[in-house]
Amino acid sequence: MNDTVFQPVAEPAPIPLRELLPWAVFGGLMLLLAIYFVGAEQGATSIFPGMYVHEFVHDGRHLLGFPCH
């Protein structure tokens, strides 16, 4: 007969807000940058010359409902 001894399982500690907040701000800024490139990088608001960025994100524009042509 086997005697099984169960060890107590350690519970994970919650992440403090002050450690989570910088990552949330960074993620939000990256999302805003992505929305800019998908939604507005074309025409008068273009940062990069030419249509390279527009063509790279063209299908994403249609998927998110941004008109482009």
Give the pLDDT confidence score for residue 19 in this predicted structure.
Answer: 92
**45 within some domain:** yes
Q: In whole angstroms, what is the distance from residue 47 CA to residue 53 CA?
A: 9
User: Helix or strand or coil: residue 67?
Assistant: coil
What residues contact residue 44 under an 8 Å CB cut-off, 6+ apart? none
13 falls within a domain: no
Q: What is the pLDDT of residue 32?
A: 93
Count of domains for the chain? 1
What per-residue confidence (pLDDT) applies to 1? 59
The whole-number pLDDT of residue 62 equals 85
Q: What is the pLDDT of residues 10-68, one digit of tens each?
A: 888 888 989 999 999 999 999 998 888 887 777 677 777 877 887 888 888 888 888 77
Question: Does residue 46 belong to any structural domain of this protein?
Answer: yes
5 or 28, higher pLDDT: 28
1 in any annotated domain: no
Q: What is the pTM of this model?
A: 0.62
Inside any domain, residue 41: yes
8 occurs within a structural domain? no
Range of the domain at 43: 18-64
| Residue type for position 30 | M
User: Is 4 inside a domain boundary?
Assistant: no
